[in-house]
A and B are shown apart, each in its own frame.
Chain A
Amino acid sequence: DTGVSQDPRHKITKRGQNVTFRCDPISEHNRLYWYRQTLGQGPEFLTYFQNEAQLEKSRLLSDRFSAERPKGSFSTLEIQRTEQGDSAMYLCASSPPGTLNYEQYFGPGTRLTVT
């Protein structure tokens, strides 16, 4: 257990529905990352927050995806009008401030299945 929690762990939804995932990073970590992982592949970067500011978004993050980190603590990732291609594991990772340690601590992930 790295201390990063994600909720829910599993989500099954029908195509066209909206879903929201939550990530609670380690409390003193100001850096937060979202990744997506499809079956048999390594995680792919989606977006990055430093405190509450979203500083980087991947081209994978279409306009149906939105992420927030309102007070620089927990973060949410919302997918609107889900499609079957959105089925994947969504991973959150956090990293401490400063320049000495950039290790990312990953949560257990949320597995999304779109039917």
Chain B
Amino acid sequence: DAKTTQPTSMDCAEGRAANLPCNHSTISGNEYVYWYRQIHSQGPQYIIHGLKNNETNEMASLIITEDRKSSTLILPHATLRDTAVYYCIVRVPYNFNKFYFGSGTKLNVKP
């Protein structure tokens, strides 16, 4: 099972870009990278996903390295409401599309 490694915590100033790294060096060619976040005591919320191309939506951008062994989630203008635990997840398509969560990164956005 592909595993992910993320820093335990990060700080970011309000209004600045937050760059959250993730290492997934054992990822296979058909396994997608997903990012979710979890605000205290709520269920995880979908942010973005990708396979090998960079992706952007209204919430964030996802940059995946060419060798696919790591990725970075970018929140372009962090707000206080972005304070949450961010999970980098590998979806395993041949195994019922289960999500394997790591321990995540606690992002603290400070005024």
Q: How many pairs of residues, A versus B, come closer than 8 Å at their CB atoms?
A: 55
Shortest distance between the CB of A12 and any CB in chain B (Å)? 16
Which stretch (A14-22, A41-49, A62-70, A75-83) binds chain B? A41-49
Q: Indicate if the CB atoms of B99 and A104 lie closer than 8 Å.
A: yes
A28 within 8 A of B: no
Interface pair B100/A104, CB less than 8 Å apart: no
Q: From residue B9, how far is it (CB to closest CB) to chain A in Å? A: 12
Could you tell me if A31 and B103 are in contact, using CB atoms closer than 8 angstroms?
no
Q: Does A109 contact B (CB under 8 A)?
A: yes
Partner of B104, one of A42, A48, A95: A42
Q: Closest B-chain residue to A102, C-beta based?
A: B97
- CB B56 to nearest CB in A, in angstroms, measures 16
Whether the Cβ atoms of A41 and B45 lie closer than 8 Å is: no
Could you tell me how many residues of chain A have their Cβ less than 8 Å away from some Cβ of chain B? 27
Which residues of B line the A interface, CB within 8 A? 32, 34, 36, 41-46, 49, 87, 91, 93, 95-104
Tell me the A residues contacting B by CB distance below 8 Å.
2, 4, 31, 33, 35, 40-45, 48, 50, 55-56, 91, 93, 95, 102-109, 111
30 contacts between A and B (CB under 8 A): A4-B43, A33-B99, A42-B87, A42-B101, A42-B104, A43-B44, A43-B101, A45-B99, A45-B100, A48-B96, A50-B96, A55-B96, A56-B96, A56-B98, A91-B44, A93-B44, A95-B97, A102-B91, A102-B93, A102-B97, A103-B34, A103-B49, A105-B46, A106-B36, A106-B43, A107-B43, A108-B43, A109-B41, A109-B42, A111-B41
